[in-house]
Amino acid sequence: QEQLTESGGGSVEAGGSLRLSCVVAGYISNRYCMGWFRQAPGEERRQGVAAIGSNGFTYADFVKGRFTISKDSAKNTLYLDMNNLKPEDTAKYYCAKDLCSAVAGAELQGARYGYWGQGTQVSVSS
């Protein structure tokens, strides 16, 4: 059973920064790709934020230049550094993983991922 555990969420003012972490139980094989998604209040769909795929990094347009995704394989941890946060970034943030072969070409589509964490809440006030 894959287990992903997010942490690092919190409440910040606009312009602030947060670092989210996602610890993966076991070893992060290079066969697996990972991403961050978010679900805003009242929204049914989880929105792709950033992902590490077979061909590199992918970012949603609304976070380019502000968010950075990274991975520390030695610590089995995926990170999302979020800078210049805006009120519209308020959401519950989830990490997800699946075989790179399953998500190739659609790294920001949540439906491609089969393993999810429980999420961590980020709230940004104006």
**DSSP state string for 27-96:** ---TTEEEEEEEE-TT--SPEEEEEEETTEEEE-GGGTTTEEEEEEGGGTEEEEEE-S--GGG-EEEEEE
For tokens 């070409």, what's the residue?
105
Instruction: Provide the 10 A C-beta neighbour count for residue 118.
Output: 11
Supply the mean pLDDT for the chain.
94
At residue 30, the pLDDT reads 83
The whole-number average pLDDT for the span 18-44 is 92
Poorest-pLDDT segment among 7-16, 27-36, 65-74: 27-36
User: CA-based angle 7:111:118, to the nearest 5?
Assistant: 20
CA contacts within 13 A on the Cβ side of 28: 22
pLDDT value, residue 26: 78
Write the single-letter amino acid at 28. Answer: I
Average pLDDT over residues 51-75: 94
41-45, 81-85, 99-103 — which one is most confidently predicted on average? 81-85
Under the banding of pLDDT at 50, 70 and 90, the label for residue 28 is confident
pLDDT, residue 55, reads: 86
Classify the phi-psi angles of 84: left when phi > 0, otherwise alpha if psi is within -120 to 50, otherwise beta: left
d(CA 19, CA 8): 6
Summarize the confidence of residues 41-63 as an average pLDDT.
Answer: 94
Give the strand pairing for 120-125 and 10-13: parallel
> Could you tell me the pLDDT band of residue 101, with boundaries at 50, 70 and 90?
very high
Measured CA to CA, the distance from residue 21 to residue 51 in angstroms comes to: 14
Q: Is the pLDDT of residue 1 over 80?
A: no
